[in-house]
Structure 1
Amino acid sequence: MAAALHLRHDDRTVGTHRLEPSTVTTPQRLAPVRETPLPTTGAHPPLFAVLGAHGGAGTSTLARWWAPAADTGLAWPASPRSTQYVVVAARMCMPGLTAAAERLREWHAGLAPDGVQVIGLVLTAARPGRVPAVVRRYRAVVAGLVEHVYEIDWHDELVTSELTELAQYLPYDPAPPRRSRLREAVPTDVHRAGTHIITHLAATRSIAAQQDSEISP
């Protein structure tokens, strides 16, 4: 993973870290591309998209929990008419981490659609209990490909809950009460990750706006 030491910063990746494309091994299979804009399902257009690195990555649940997010399935959001800030989602298991690494390498290699900016990786527990050591070690390797990594625990109540019944996180919501039901509030780890994503995204967009103002005559 020596390639992780070669970082670049350019106008397309304001607030994010990119590897030099020449140092990245291109994945054998590329993700599909979504040409249509992401839907607006809430009061406002989505601020970021959740991209599944593989089937069953939990994108629909995460996008439901985070009200400012949109579920882009397995496809990169290519339309500039809606957000192209992306959080990659995967399960915390060897196949999930491998798939996440492929999507992150694809982005670093410049093979994702123009305008896409990966702002984080969210890893959802694949099962209850402790994560095997070998998975943890590989997680540390994959983490070198992205600036921010978020972990979501296993939540038993999801097994018996409909997606539309889940509570949602809104920017700047206070921390949820401990041991709340999923219909009443998002889990603490979901709230923590959502708050960090929104804070990071606000800073990223602020830097981009400042650079645009400096370029404008």
Structure 2
Amino acid sequence: MSAALHRREAEVLDIGHRMEPATVAAPPPQRRAPFRHNALPITGPHPPLFAVLGAHGGAATSTLAHWWGPAADCGLAWPASPATTQKVVVAARLCMPGLIAAAERLREWHAGLAPEGVVVIGLVLSAVRPGRVPAPVRRYREVVTELVGSVYTIGWHDELTRCELSDLVEYLPFDPPPKRRAPITSAVPRDVHHAGAAIIADLALIRKQLEAQHDSEDPS
């Protein structure tokens, strides 16, 4: 492995850090995500800690944002308002079209084309069907995940086809893990809990990184 490649991988895997914009092939203007200039909705007692951005239509942003109590659904648009969080989890389906769209959103951010202040925490990939992921999709997933520090995986949950969104239980930080095979109307699925806890941990890591950067830049 060359030294240049090693430095590039280290930079990408550092959660919340962008690659050098000049090294990234950005998607063409017609394939870039719009900006949301309004503040994100506050649906709970506290402002959201992170936003769920859909890389494409049908990326399950509303379901994920409902499952994760500290999250807000920002649809297909980057959160441009500093009045609410600009920490972002990109959501996509685990299929070729979903991965291609996710790669575009991630390259867009690395190229400096997202709104000022946006930080991508990670990428959440949701299954499109039960069973094994096809080999070509698995191979391309490995390519796409090199563009982001953290990847969170959500499996197929057949119960979602029989539930209203309002029937789903929320994950909150520090909630204990749910029991196995608990219905989704009484507990979040274990993979949703695991991903939510990982996102909260990544947010804490980013906050420490920003504090350390501020301390190093403070002349006092």
Coarse TM-score class (shorter-chain normalised): over 0.9
* Residues 90 and 122, structure 1, Cα contact 8 Å, conserved in 2: yes
The whole-number CA distance in structure 1 between the counterparts of 2:134 and 2:108 is 27
Code of the residue aligned with 1:91 in structure 2: it is: R
Which residue number in structure 2 is paired with residue 38 of structure 1?
40
Which residue number in structure 1 is paired with residue 132 of structure 2?
130
| Structure 2: gaps (5+ residues) | none
Which residue number in structure 2 is paired with residue 21 of structure 1?
21
The whole-number CA distance in structure 2 between the counterparts of 1:39 and 1:83 is 10
SS in 2 for 1:196: helix
* Residues 51 and 76, structure 1, Cα contact 8 Å, conserved in 2: yes
* Residues 86 and 117, structure 2, Cα contact 8 Å, conserved in 1: yes
Q: How does 1:8-87 map to 2 (within 5 A)?
A: 15-28=15-28, 29-87=31-89
Shift of 1:134: 0.4
Shift of 1:19: 1.3
* Residues 15 and 150, structure 2, Cα contact 8 Å, conserved in 1: no
Which residue number in structure 2 is paired with residue 147 of structure 1?
149
The whole-number CA distance in structure 1 between the counterparts of 2:133 and 2:7 is 27
The whole-number CA distance in structure 2 between the counterparts of 1:116 and 1:7 is 21
* Cα RMSD for the two superposed structures: 1.8
Which residue number in structure 2 is paired with residue 175 of structure 1?
177
Code of the residue aligned with 1:68 in structure 2: it is: P
SS in 2 for 1:110: coil
Shift of 1:3: 7.9
Q: Percent identity?
A: 64
How many residue pairs match? The answer is 212
1:66-98 deviation per Cα after TM superposition (whole angstroms, max 9, x unaligned): 000000000000001100000000000000000
1:121-164 deviation per Cα after TM superposition (whole angstroms, max 9, x unaligned): 00000111111000000000000000001110000000010001
Could you tell me the TM-score, scaled by structure 1's length? 0.92
Q: Which one is further off, 194-203 or 15-24?
A: 15-24
Which residue number in structure 1 is paired with residue 92 of structure 2?
90
Change in Cα spacing, 1:77 to 1:84, as seen in structure 2 (3 Å) is: same
SS in 2 for 1:136: helix
The whole-number CA distance in structure 2 between the counterparts of 1:174 and 1:129 is 27
Code of the residue aligned with 2:19 in structure 1: it is: L
The whole-number CA distance in structure 1 between the counterparts of 2:77 and 2:194 is 26
SS in 1 for 2:193: helix
1:145-187 deviation per Cα after TM superposition (whole angstroms, max 9, x unaligned): 0000111000000001000110010001000000000010100
Q: Give the counterpart of 2:189 among 177, 187, 200.
A: 187
Change in Cα spacing, 1:158 to 1:8, as seen in structure 2 (3 Å) is: same
Change in Cα spacing, 1:101 to 1:204, as seen in structure 2 (3 Å) is: same
Which residue number in structure 2 is paired with residue 208 of structure 1?
210
